[in-house]
Structure 1
Amino acid sequence: MALSGPLSRRAALALITASAALAAAPGRAAALTETEAEGFVRQVVDEVVSLVESGKPAPEQQSGFRALFARRAAVPSVVRFIMGATWRDMSGAQQAAMEDAFLDYVARVYSELLSSYSGQRIEIGQVQDFGRKGILVTSTARGEGVEDVAVEWLVSDRGGSGPQLVDVVIEGLSMLQSQRQEFAAMLDKRGGDVDQLIADLRAG
């Protein structure tokens, strides 16, 4: 079960970048323990696997992923980081609408990514405490006939409502950072029109 060796340089850099999402987050310093963070990740993994193995139609699985992200992810902090400086210029109504549209977006993206799941198992490995930035739980996805995939999960409880997922780092690539770059490109393509971006995210 254990995954030996230090955190890879790419994953460490991705973690440092991702932790910026929590830098301005309100709330107390994390009191989360490594054991709690590991247990939380196991719960998330079990929920994801249960959903993709459910045999439900794609729209129902997508709805399930949306509910999972809303419950398990630090959505306000994540969306604030992804939107960057633009977030400060958005109205309260736009910020709330963006959080809602973001959930629609990630539900579609991750349900599509996981549509190729074919029984891979997730083995939990090293767990590292990064203080106020959160706790990183490493894991490896293994399966017959496919290459192993390293997956790191950044977990924090700084929001004050228990453990929440802040980022997922796949093979050293931060999903949080990737989405920030993607959203910046999408916003630029729309001439900085936040309302249009929100509408397009909802429409898919």
Structure 2
Amino acid sequence: MTFKRLIALAFFMLAGLLPAAQASAQQAPDALVRDVTNEVLEIVRADKAIQAGDVHRVIELVDAKVLPHFDFRRMTMLAVGRDWRDASPAQQARLTEAFRTLLVRTYSNALTQYRDQTIDFKPTRFAATDKRVQVRTEVRQSGAQPIGIDYMLEKSDAGWKVFDVIVAGVSLVTNYRSSFTQEIRSGGVDGLIKSLEDKNRSLEAEQQRS
């Protein structure tokens, strides 16, 4: 399974968290992830539009149920690295919006390709006072080696939010950092914003044709 497909699965595993979080705001982060994952994967397998490759259906589902559980500002800040502090508030807002859109559009195609994956949940140890928790899971698929997908969550006034996903030991935000740094070195923060927005327009046009 490719890195892109694993990240896509990580996004979709959290697609059912919104109703659960509203129903039980005090639920532990590991229990929250565990309880909804199997149900969400069943929905994916049963949704005929998704199985038929309807990317627009996937994007609608992600927009409605996944995005509220990710701290995209923090993810963008970590991906941009030390250059984040040099960006103006307006630039930071555009970077965050562009990165969020890029993640959704990049991984939406891969979300239509899941059928027989199962998820194992590893024990999670944390204290009631902890503000950060790593929830470890393992994706199993027939004929392939298990691959770890870990969620880094941080507790805020709005509840638990994901600020990084680690796939097979590789951090999502770190995976983007080197390319973001290169873009900023060659064209500044505005150059990175333009590059991200150009990619988003290209992906949108491609998905509209499909």
TM over 0.5: yes
Structure 2 partner of 1:181: 178
| Pair 1:36 & 2:28 matched | yes
| One-letter amino acid of the structure 2 residue matched with residue 38 of structure 1 | D
CA distance in 1, matches of 2:39, 2:108: 13
CA distance in 2, matches of 1:94, 1:115: 33
Contact 1:122/1:139, CA 8 A, preserved across alignment: yes
CA distance in 1, matches of 2:63, 2:114: 18
User: Number of paired residues?
Assistant: 171
Structure 2 partner of 1:74: 71
Deviation at 1:195, TM superposition (A): 3.7
Q: Which moved more, 1:129-138 or 1:103-112?
A: 129-138
CA distance in 1, matches of 2:181, 2:36: 28
Q: Relative to total residues, which structure has the larger helix share, 1 or 2?
A: 2
TM-score normalised according to structure 1 size: 0.70
CA distance in 2, matches of 1:151, 1:105: 20
Structure 1 partner of 2:116: 119
The RMSD of aligned alpha carbons is 2.8
Structure 1 partner of 2:132: 134
Structure 1 partner of 2:81: 84
CA distance in 2, matches of 1:71, 1:160: 13
Gaps of 5+ in 2: 1-24, 204-210
Distance 1:38 1:132, change over 3 A: closer
TM-score normalised according to structure 2 size: 0.68
Gaps of 5+ in 1: 1-31
Distance 1:87 1:132, change over 3 A: farther
1:1-204 → structure 2 map (5 Å cutoff): 36-42=28-34, 45-46=37-38, 49=41, 52-53=44-45, 54=47, 55-56=49-50, 57-129=54-126, 134-157=132-155, 159-188=156-185, 190=187, 192=189, 193-203=191-201, 204=203
Deviation at 1:43, TM superposition (A): 5.5
| One-letter amino acid of the structure 2 residue matched with residue 41 of structure 1 | V
Identity over aligned pairs, percent: 22
Higher relative contact order (CA 8 A, sep 6+): 1
